[in-house]
Structure 1
Amino acid sequence: MSAPYDLVIVGLSLSSAWGNGHATTFRALIRGLKTHGRNVLFLERNVPWYAGNRDLPEPDFCTLAYYDSVEELTAHYGAALQSAEAVIVGSYVPEGVAVIDALDQLQLRNWHFYDIDTPVTLGKLGRGDEEYIARRQIPLFDSYLSFSGGPTLARLESEFGARLAQALYCSVDAERYGPTGDTHKWDLGYLGTYSPDRQPVLERLLIEPARRLPHMRFVVAGAQFPADIVWPDNVERIEHVAPADHPGFYNQQRFTLNVTRADMVAAGWSPSVRLFEAGACGTPVISDIWMGIDRIFPADAIVLARDSDDVVRALSEVSPAQRNAMAASARRHVLAEHSGSARAGELIAMLEPGRRNLDLSTGKAAS
């Protein structure tokens, strides 16, 4: 493996977005890093599930390589890891605890943990579940990059021993997500893999409104939904929408729905990439409510919904002019604050050795 690389990332997946949100997160971020002139090597465990569902086997914005075991990771890529300016290990990496221990033996000069699942991770650690990181390993990293900001950052430091916790939210590739000119096919849509904790919210914010508004059209796209769910006749089901088709999917919706995992609602400050993808496309979002959403997304670009009534009201009463104003505000904000290039710039600053001047409430550099 040729070296040196500016950054080496050991992550769950870059090649396949099937059934995970990590791939799209890494793609936007690494494309952004390329615009900043950074040379990235991404190391992905070669597992059958992703190998059979690769929608990006040969990215043009970084080097992607696969390994079959922890031993192969360090034997084949040890030199690249040691010579890189910085190394990032992601959450949910297979055999993550063993991977981290093996990389620790390499005495890397500047390495960080990127938790794309922070509330889930902390919940698992609280139960003694160390699937992909052990509690004892958190202080090994120079910093803990977290998908969740706000109070979670202070907790990572005070309770879990992180040397420095910094918020690194998801982002969107602004060159790939934008208005497409598609006509509206659905009044409200949802894109997300089934999860038991999100389903009651989906019932409340999409399925029940669909029952009340039989003249409108709805869509739910995502895998693993149980066969026994009773969908109203005006709700279309799509098993999978490939990342390349996401912009068209959003543009065909008058509004899109954002539903957040329960652990992330409890933690707050945990935006989904769906917020930023839809915003970049100019599709207004109807979202569940959690702490920090009003700081991350502008109030004039989103509808916050507690119950079915809020959704029905938005779909029935928001005028085309109001919807267009929301769409324009959302797109302006996302392009300025949440593009892959903007997030990559934040990451580059965070990877500077000895960095400490951050506002823990937002994860942004303190003035």
Structure 2
Amino acid sequence: MTARVKVAMFGSSLVSAYWNGAATYYRGIIRALDRCGFDVTFFEPDAYQRQQHRDIADPHWARVVVYPATQDGMEAALEQARDADVVVKASGVGVFDEELEAEVPLLKRATNTIVFWDVDAPATLERMRENAGDPFHAEVRRYDLVLTYGGGPPVIDGYQRFGARQCVPIYNALDPETHFPADPDPRFCGTLGFLGNRLPDREARVREFFLNPAAQLPDLRFVMGGSGWERDVALSANVCNVGHVYTHEHNAFNCSTLAVLNVNRDSMARTGYSPPTRVFEAAGAGACLVCDAWDGLAEFLEPGREVLRVSSGEEVVALLLGLTPDTARRIGDRARRRVLAEHTYNNRAREVQRLLLDELAVGATFARRGKEQASASL
């Protein structure tokens, strides 16, 4: 029987989606990797009240280590990760990111693989382009492999220009065991739903594609979920702000409105090829998805048939005035069939499996040759 591969991963949080949009992505990938023969230990700092807002208990498909958000806590976690076959530093841990990016490559041995997994690659690359003194300029070359949450050709080219040995996008996807059609919930019922935390590089686009159309369509009910929108945001009377929506409520949220809106963050929209988790969650629930336009969307869902693409708030208004329940249902059904066929986390995990096993095989070959040469010289 083939031995299971031990992975140590440093990320924001696996057990809490509170101010942590990457949680669904981590869960889908790691659950599927478990089925592929990987034992993942996920190291997350006790920060930002995430442990007080858990969505799930510690899962059976991963070991979770919550460490104190201190220098000593970080160093103790790194020591625990030392013997792993694969050590992963994800972007956006939120605590000691620069230190972890420098320390994780120091765990390199001849027989292990060191990975940087960027869950916000467009923003990382913009930051590096704008700051020649960013410490990650020196660190990126020390990783065996860079995996990204998305980004396609622009992100691959960007990382290669900064010296990455290999960069491969591992896109968001659907976990059919987590996201699926559900009964509507009266709290979330309306014409258009939007779910996303308030972030500086998203807010203007949310106003354009969601809040402005709501103000123009006072007879329709708009439902807004996510953290941060309760402060200093002028909402028209027909916008229902439901606040933070826990992950176990996402299916009901996606199935309770005529359509569900996705709005990308500025950098992801400019870069393209970066479908967020919300796209696959909504499609997996059979929702009629309305998505802001970005390059590469057609690689995942066919505009006009499996997703409704809009380029402005005016287009959102026109779309909602003409959208019928029958049309919305057909679009949602087609999207669900497409993602189940091509865009599940099992698909993504098989790609990660191939990449990591190839890297480990190369390391094992070099280690073996080194031993043979040392023996021959005796």
Assess same fold via TM > 0.5. yes
Question: In 2, Cα distance between the equivalents of 1:262 and 1:26?
Answer: 22
Question: In 2, Cα distance between the equivalents of 1:99 and 1:164?
Answer: 20
Larger fraction in helix: 2
* Aligned partner of 2:329 among 309, 324, 333: 324
Aligned to 2:278: 274
Aligned 8 A contact 1:150 1:292 in 2: no
Question: In 1, Cα distance between the equivalents of 2:12 and 2:103?
Answer: 17
Q: Secondary structure at the match of 1:271?
A: coil
Question: In 1, Cα distance between the equivalents of 2:314 and 2:130?
Answer: 37
Aligned 8 A contact 2:81 2:87 in 1: no
The aligned runs of 1:186-197 (5 Å cut-off) are: 186-197=190-201
* Aligned partner of 1:306 among 306, 311, 314: 311
* Aligned partner of 2:252 among 248, 255, 262: 248
Aligned 8 A contact 2:185 2:253 in 1: no
- Greater shift, 299-308 or 239-248, is seen at 299-308
* Letter in structure 1 aligned against 2:247: P
Question: In 2, Cα distance between the equivalents of 1:18 and 1:40?
Answer: 21
CA deviation profile, 1:33-72 (whole Å, cap 9, x unmatched): 1232322111112225223322334222211012234555
Aligned to 1:336: 341
Question: In 2, Cα distance between the equivalents of 1:169 and 1:129?
Answer: 28
Question: In 1, Cα distance between the equivalents of 2:308 and 2:58?
Answer: 38
* Letter in structure 2 aligned against 1:88: V
What is the aligned length? Answer: 350
Aligned to 1:358: none
Gaps of 5+ in 2: 361-378
Shift in Å, 1:145: 0.6
Shift in Å, 1:196: 3.0
* Letter in structure 1 aligned against 2:156: L
Higher relative contact order at CA 8 Å, sep ≥6: structure 1 or structure 2? Answer: 1
* Letter in structure 2 aligned against 1:53: H
Shift in Å, 1:96: 2.1
* Letter in structure 1 aligned against 2:51: A
Shift in Å, 1:244: 0.9
Q: Secondary structure at the match of 1:325?
A: helix
Give yes or no for the alignment of 1:111 onto 2:114: yes
CA deviation profile, 1:287-327 (whole Å, cap 9, x unmatched): 11111112122221111111233212222223333222211
Task: Provide closer, same or farther for how the CA distance between residues 316 and 183 of structure 1 changes in structure 2, counting only shifts above 3 A.
Answer: farther
Give identity over the alignment, percent: 29
CA deviation profile, 1:153-190 (whole Å, cap 9, x unmatched): 02211x21000010011223211111113268111010
Shift in Å, 1:214: 2.1
Aligned 8 A contact 2:14 2:42 in 1: yes
Q: Secondary structure at the match of 1:52?
A: helix
The aligned runs of 1:1-367 (5 Å cut-off) are: 6-47=6-47, 49-68=49-68, 69=70, 71-75=72-76, 78=79, 80-82=81-83, 84-93=84-93, 94-108=95-109, 109-128=112-131, 134-147=136-149, 148-157=151-160, 159-182=161-184, 185-225=189-229, 227-299=231-303, 300-354=305-359
Aligned to 1:362: none
Q: Secondary structure at the match of 1:298?
A: coil
Aligned 8 A contact 2:104 2:114 in 1: no
Q: Secondary structure at the match of 1:150?
A: helix
Aligned 8 A contact 1:190 1:221 in 2: yes
Aligned to 1:363: none
CA deviation profile, 1:196-251 (whole Å, cap 9, x unmatched): 33222222222222223222111111111263322111110011000111111111
Task: Provide closer, same or farther for how the CA distance between residues 202 and 102 of structure 1 changes in structure 2, counting only shifts above 3 A.
Answer: closer
Question: In 2, Cα distance between the equivalents of 1:169 and 1:349?
Answer: 15
TM-score, normalised via structure 2 length:
0.86
TM-score, normalised via structure 1 length:
0.88
* Letter in structure 2 aligned against 1:281: A
* Letter in structure 2 aligned against 1:317: G
* Letter in structure 1 aligned against 2:139: Q
- RMSD of aligned alpha carbons: 2.3
Aligned 8 A contact 2:225 2:245 in 1: yes
- Greater shift, 175-184 or 245-254, is seen at 175-184
The structure whose Rg is larger is: 2
Shift in Å, 1:26: 0.6
Gaps of 5+ in 1: 356-367
Aligned 8 A contact 1:15 1:54 in 2: yes
Aligned 8 A contact 1:269 1:293 in 2: yes
Question: In 2, Cα distance between the equivalents of 1:322 and 1:285?
Answer: 12
Question: In 2, Cα distance between the equivalents of 1:98 and 1:130?
Answer: 15
